[in-house]
Amino acid sequence: MTTSFTLYHNPNCSKSRAVLALLNDRNVTLTVINYLNNPPDAAMLNQLLTLLTRTPRELMRTTEATYRQANIDHADVSHDELVAAMVEYPILIERPIVVKHCTKAGSKAIIGRPPENIEVLFT
């Protein structure tokens, strides 16, 4: 069984850095994506939403000024519009996101807030 991990990482975020350290301590095969410089596209965001079992708004940092500036802070904004906003403004994506890829069991994902949340990926 082959297992690897992907971390959607913001190096300026203390929680993201803590999750990176936890993953490095476990010596896992890890791909680190600085999502601010290399944002996921809509298809990848939808895949992450499925793995996380969250809605787009549940994956958004609604306290960011960009959230209000993007004019998406009202209830009638569609799923696709919210995903498009995260593609355009990746700062809106909650962080860090860890995806565990396992050839036998499939993929799982979790948001590392708090960083200890990722421990469920190892049980």
The residues annotated with a catalytic role in the active site are 13
Placement of tokens 């565990």 in the chain: 100
Residue from 119, 95, 98 nearest 108 by CA: 98
Alpha carbon distance 62, 109 (integer Å): 21
Residue whose tokens read 């490095």: 24
Cβ pair 98, 120 in contact under 8 A: no
Nearest-CA neighbor of 6 among 119, 109, 122, 106?
Answer: 109
Strands 30-34 and 3-9: parallel
